Amino acid sequence: MRSLKDFFSSDSARVKRPLRRIAILISGRGSNMQALLQKIREGKLKAECVLVVSDREAKGIEVAWGFGVKAEVLARQKGEAREAFDARLAARLQAAAVEVVVCAGYLRILSGPMLKAYAGRILNVHPSILPAFPGMNAQQQALDYGVKLTGCTIHLVDAGVDTGKILAQGAVEVKAGDTVGALSRRILAAEHALYWQTLQKFLAQLN
Protein backbone atom coordinates (compact mmCIF):
# COMPACT_ATOMS: atom_id res chain seq x y z
CA MET A 1 0.00 0.00 0.00
CA ARG A 2 1.37 3.42 -0.99
CA SER A 3 2.06 5.91 1.74
CA LEU A 4 1.00 9.56 1.49
CA LYS A 5 4.68 10.43 1.05
CA ASP A 6 4.95 8.08 -1.93
CA PHE A 7 1.72 9.46 -3.39
CA PHE A 8 2.77 13.11 -3.27
CA SER A 9 6.33 12.33 -4.38
CA SER A 10 5.01 10.47 -7.39
CA ASP A 11 2.56 13.21 -8.33
CA SER A 12 5.10 15.98 -7.94
CA ALA A 13 7.50 14.12 -10.19
CA ARG A 14 4.89 14.24 -12.94
CA VAL A 15 4.30 17.98 -12.62
CA LYS A 16 6.33 19.81 -15.23
CA ARG A 17 7.55 23.32 -14.62
CA PRO A 18 6.21 25.70 -17.30
CA LEU A 19 8.78 26.46 -19.96
CA ARG A 20 10.61 29.73 -19.52
CA ARG A 21 9.47 32.37 -21.97
CA ILE A 22 12.37 33.85 -23.91
CA ALA A 23 12.73 36.51 -26.58
CA ILE A 24 15.61 36.64 -29.04
CA LEU A 25 17.00 39.95 -30.32
CA ILE A 26 18.65 40.00 -33.73
CA SER A 27 19.90 42.48 -36.31
CA GLY A 28 20.76 40.24 -39.27
CA ARG A 29 20.56 36.69 -40.57
CA GLY A 30 20.12 35.21 -37.10
CA SER A 31 22.32 32.12 -37.32
CA ASN A 32 22.62 31.84 -33.53
CA MET A 33 18.87 32.40 -33.25
CA GLN A 34 18.31 29.60 -35.76
CA ALA A 35 20.57 27.27 -33.79
CA LEU A 36 18.65 28.02 -30.59
CA LEU A 37 15.25 27.54 -32.23
CA GLN A 38 16.42 24.23 -33.67
CA LYS A 39 17.40 22.99 -30.21
CA ILE A 40 14.00 24.07 -28.89
CA ARG A 41 12.33 22.18 -31.74
CA GLU A 42 14.40 19.09 -30.91
CA GLY A 43 13.36 19.32 -27.26
CA LYS A 44 16.95 19.75 -26.08
CA LEU A 45 16.56 23.39 -25.03
CA LYS A 46 13.70 23.56 -22.55
CA ALA A 47 12.34 27.00 -23.37
CA GLU A 48 9.56 28.69 -25.30
CA CYS A 49 10.59 31.43 -27.69
CA VAL A 50 7.57 33.71 -27.70
CA LEU A 51 9.05 36.55 -29.73
CA VAL A 52 11.93 37.47 -32.02
CA VAL A 53 12.65 41.18 -32.43
CA SER A 54 14.97 42.79 -34.95
CA ASP A 55 15.90 46.46 -34.90
CA ARG A 56 15.90 46.49 -38.72
CA GLU A 57 14.61 44.53 -41.70
CA ALA A 58 16.58 41.30 -41.57
CA LYS A 59 16.67 37.81 -43.04
CA GLY A 60 16.37 36.39 -39.54
CA ILE A 61 12.73 37.48 -39.35
CA GLU A 62 11.75 35.03 -42.10
CA VAL A 63 13.90 32.35 -40.50
CA ALA A 64 11.96 32.75 -37.24
CA TRP A 65 8.66 32.58 -39.11
CA GLY A 66 9.86 29.30 -40.60
CA PHE A 67 10.00 27.92 -37.06
CA GLY A 68 6.50 29.19 -36.35
CA VAL A 69 7.80 31.89 -34.00
CA LYS A 70 6.30 35.37 -33.87
CA ALA A 71 8.89 37.79 -35.23
CA GLU A 72 8.77 41.50 -35.92
CA VAL A 73 10.83 44.60 -36.62
CA LEU A 74 11.01 47.29 -33.96
CA ALA A 75 13.06 50.06 -35.52
CA ARG A 76 14.48 53.14 -33.86
CA GLN A 77 12.58 56.20 -35.04
CA LYS A 78 14.32 59.21 -36.52
CA GLY A 79 15.69 61.37 -33.72
CA GLU A 80 14.61 58.87 -31.04
CA ALA A 81 16.96 58.69 -28.06
CA ARG A 82 18.53 55.34 -27.27
CA GLU A 83 16.81 55.21 -23.88
CA ALA A 84 13.42 55.99 -25.41
CA PHE A 85 13.86 53.19 -27.94
CA ASP A 86 14.90 50.74 -25.25
CA ALA A 87 11.87 51.73 -23.17
CA ARG A 88 9.66 50.79 -26.13
CA LEU A 89 11.56 47.53 -26.55
CA ALA A 90 11.21 46.66 -22.86
CA ALA A 91 7.50 47.43 -22.97
CA ARG A 92 7.04 45.18 -26.01
CA LEU A 93 8.86 42.30 -24.34
CA GLN A 94 6.96 42.72 -21.10
CA ALA A 95 3.66 42.76 -23.00
CA ALA A 96 4.66 39.31 -24.33
CA ALA A 97 5.46 38.13 -20.78
CA VAL A 98 9.09 37.52 -21.71
CA GLU A 99 11.21 36.29 -18.80
CA VAL A 100 14.69 36.13 -20.36
CA VAL A 101 16.19 38.08 -23.25
CA VAL A 102 18.73 36.43 -25.55
CA CYS A 103 20.87 38.61 -27.81
CA ALA A 104 21.92 36.78 -30.96
CA GLY A 105 23.75 39.14 -33.27
CA TYR A 106 21.92 42.18 -31.91
CA LEU A 107 24.01 45.19 -32.85
CA ARG A 108 22.67 47.78 -30.42
CA ILE A 109 24.12 48.43 -26.97
CA LEU A 110 21.28 48.10 -24.49
CA SER A 111 20.67 51.03 -22.17
CA GLY A 112 19.01 51.75 -18.82
CA PRO A 113 15.35 50.87 -19.53
CA MET A 114 16.21 47.40 -20.80
CA LEU A 115 18.88 46.77 -18.18
CA LYS A 116 16.42 47.71 -15.44
CA ALA A 117 13.48 45.75 -16.83
CA TYR A 118 15.55 42.59 -17.31
CA ALA A 119 18.35 42.98 -14.78
CA GLY A 120 20.46 39.83 -14.71
CA ARG A 121 18.28 38.20 -17.36
CA ILE A 122 19.86 39.32 -20.63
CA LEU A 123 22.39 37.02 -22.28
CA ASN A 124 24.78 37.79 -25.12
CA VAL A 125 27.31 35.87 -27.18
CA HIS A 126 30.63 37.45 -28.17
CA PRO A 127 33.22 36.03 -30.62
CA SER A 128 36.28 36.11 -28.36
CA ILE A 129 37.45 34.85 -25.00
CA LEU A 130 36.57 37.90 -22.96
CA PRO A 131 37.96 40.13 -21.57
CA ALA A 132 40.18 39.90 -24.66
CA PHE A 133 38.94 41.69 -27.79
CA PRO A 134 35.64 43.27 -26.68
CA GLY A 135 33.51 45.34 -29.02
CA MET A 136 33.31 45.13 -32.79
CA ASN A 137 35.53 43.09 -35.14
CA ALA A 138 36.77 40.74 -32.43
CA GLN A 139 37.98 38.18 -34.98
CA GLN A 140 40.09 40.77 -36.80
CA GLN A 141 41.43 41.96 -33.44
CA ALA A 142 42.55 38.41 -32.66
CA LEU A 143 44.33 38.06 -36.00
CA ASP A 144 45.96 41.47 -35.70
CA TYR A 145 47.23 40.65 -32.21
CA GLY A 146 48.63 37.31 -33.34
CA VAL A 147 47.04 35.07 -30.71
CA LYS A 148 47.05 31.30 -31.17
CA LEU A 149 43.78 30.77 -29.35
CA THR A 150 40.51 32.70 -29.35
CA GLY A 151 36.90 31.57 -29.10
CA CYS A 152 33.54 32.70 -27.82
CA THR A 153 31.96 33.89 -24.59
CA ILE A 154 28.41 33.73 -23.28
CA HIS A 155 27.87 36.51 -20.75
CA LEU A 156 25.22 38.55 -19.02
CA VAL A 157 24.66 42.06 -20.34
CA ASP A 158 25.41 45.06 -18.16
CA ALA A 159 25.96 48.77 -18.80
CA GLY A 160 29.45 48.22 -20.26
CA VAL A 161 30.51 46.82 -23.61
CA ASP A 162 31.00 43.05 -23.22
CA THR A 163 31.79 43.48 -19.51
CA GLY A 164 28.98 41.46 -17.92
CA LYS A 165 29.34 38.31 -15.84
CA ILE A 166 30.84 35.47 -17.87
CA LEU A 167 28.69 32.32 -17.94
CA ALA A 168 30.68 30.09 -20.31
CA GLN A 169 33.53 30.18 -22.80
CA GLY A 170 34.70 28.01 -25.66
CA ALA A 171 38.15 27.92 -27.26
CA VAL A 172 38.91 28.01 -30.98
CA GLU A 173 42.39 27.59 -32.44
CA VAL A 174 43.73 30.31 -34.70
CA LYS A 175 45.37 28.52 -37.65
CA ALA A 176 48.29 29.66 -39.76
CA GLY A 177 47.06 31.70 -42.69
CA ASP A 178 43.61 32.20 -41.20
CA THR A 179 41.37 34.81 -42.76
CA VAL A 180 38.69 36.70 -40.86
CA GLY A 181 36.06 34.70 -42.71
CA ALA A 182 37.58 31.30 -41.93
CA LEU A 183 38.14 32.11 -38.27
CA SER A 184 34.68 33.63 -37.94
CA ARG A 185 33.06 30.46 -39.29
CA ARG A 186 34.82 28.26 -36.76
CA ILE A 187 33.98 30.60 -33.90
CA LEU A 188 30.35 30.68 -35.03
CA ALA A 189 30.20 26.88 -34.93
CA ALA A 190 31.53 27.01 -31.37
CA GLU A 191 28.88 29.61 -30.48
CA HIS A 192 26.11 27.39 -31.83
CA ALA A 193 27.29 24.50 -29.66
CA LEU A 194 27.82 26.55 -26.50
CA TYR A 195 24.97 29.06 -26.49
CA TRP A 196 22.03 26.69 -26.14
CA GLN A 197 23.72 24.62 -23.45
CA THR A 198 24.58 27.72 -21.44
CA LEU A 199 21.06 29.09 -21.83
CA GLN A 200 19.62 25.76 -20.71
CA LYS A 201 21.70 25.86 -17.51
CA PHE A 202 20.82 29.50 -16.92
CA LEU A 203 17.09 28.91 -17.26
CA ALA A 204 17.23 25.87 -14.99
CA GLN A 205 18.68 27.85 -12.09
CA LEU A 206 16.19 30.74 -12.25
CA ASN A 207 13.75 31.15 -9.39
Give the tens place of pLDDT for each residue, 50-93: 999 999 999 999 999 999 999 999 999 999 999 999 999 999 99
- The predicted pLDDT at position 15 comes to 58
Rounded Cα gap, residues 158 and 35, in angstroms: 24
Contact between 123 and 101 under an 8 Å Cβ cutoff? The reply is: yes
Q: What is the pTM of this model?
A: 0.90
What is the average pLDDT across 176-199? 97
- Report the candidate in 28, 6, 16, 19 with the shortest Cα–Cα distance to residue 49: 19
| pLDDT band with cut points at 50, 70 and 90 for residue 207 | confident
Q: What is the pLDDT of residues 160-169, one digit of tens each?
A: 999 999 999 9
Q: Which residues are catalytic?
A: 126
Instruction: Say how many Å lie between the first and final Cα of the chain, rounded.
Output: 35
Closest to 151 in 3D by CA, of 194, 119, 111: 194
Place 14 in a pLDDT band, splitting at 50, 70 and 90.
low
User: pLDDT tens, 23-49?
Assistant: 999 999 999 999 999 999 999 999 999
Domains and CATH numbers, the chain: 19-204 (3.40.50.170)
